[in-house]
Amino acid sequence: MKPASIAELYRRLAALDPEPRSELAYSTPFELLCAVVLSAQATDVGVNKATARLYPVANTPQQILALGEAGLREYIRTIGLYQTKAKHLIRLAQLLLERHGGEVPRERAALEALPGVGRKTASVVLNVAFGEPAIAVDTHIFRVANRTGLAPGKTPDQVSARLEKITPAQYRLHAHHWLILHGRYVCKARRPECWRCPIADLCRYRPKTPAAGPAPAAGTLRGRPPARTRAARAQ
Ligand code: SF4
């Protein structure tokens, strides 16, 4: 995609949602880190339900350790892979206390050295908790980047590196959220909703999905909750 089209794509997504927020509920970097670890192969809604019960009881490394692995499992057992994730969170809490005084580190290498934390999780924490312009690539962003031609790549790491290279500086901080929300609510996996897509003329995907029913009113994004609602949920 040409630089002018890339800039226009981001300009439109930014105009629709100038201050995008994570859909994971958190109030501290540690809560965010745990939520992102729990969100692997799980929905944000499912993670938020579990952490709404867990965090009032334990939301620091010390409290997670005091809960113990068996105790922690009881709070997160509705989430896929909860047994492995409970192990990771206990070890992660131990390492944060041993190596970082109980704080979440701001360095990628230190984050990726923690159990259950790969490049994607580290990028989300750096971006959302610390305002770093890292672009984590999940399944939604991987799909959007390839379908549109914005940043094609065979692996999430390739797409992430390409996105970080081609995204104009002023859009890098929020690029992760704009692309993830676009993939989740408009450019859906099975049936992208091209007929109401704000970037359809810039996207190289063919053939475009036609509208099944009456066209939505101009300027609306049917099926996508308004930005204010999502932000409120994330607080
Ligand atoms: S036009 Fe269709 S395929 Fe392209 S970004 Fe929009 S919804 Fe996705």
Domain parsing of the chain, residue ranges:
3-20+134-211, 29-128
203: closest CA among 144, 148, 147?
A: 148
187 lines ligand 1 (CB under 6 A): yes
pLDDT of amino acid 228: 39
| pTM score, whole prediction | 0.82
pLDDT of amino acid 232: 37
Question: What does the block give as tokens for 176?
Answer: 């992760």
Q: How far apart, in whole angstroms, are the C-alpha atoms of residue 26 and residue 28?
A: 6
65 neighbors 93 (Cβ within 8 angstroms)? yes
Q: How far apart, in whole angstroms, are the C-alpha atoms of residue 168 and residue 215?
A: 32
- Please state the atom number of ligand 1 nearest to the C-alpha of residue 147: 3
H-type alpha helices, the chain: 3-16, 29-38, 44-54, 61-76, 82-100, 108-112, 119-128, 139-148, 156-166, 172-185, 227-234
CATH for the stretch 3-20+134-211 = 1.10.1670.10
CA–centroid distance, 151 to ligand 1, in Å, is 14
Nearest-CA residue for atom 1 of ligand 1:
200
Block means of pLDDT (10 residues each) for the chain, 235 residues, are: 97 96 95 97 95 98 98 97 97 98 97 94 95 92 98 95 96 95 96 97 96 52 43 37
221 lines ligand 1 (CB under 6 A): no
CATH for the stretch 29-128 = 1.10.340.30
118 neighbors 138 (Cβ within 8 angstroms)? no
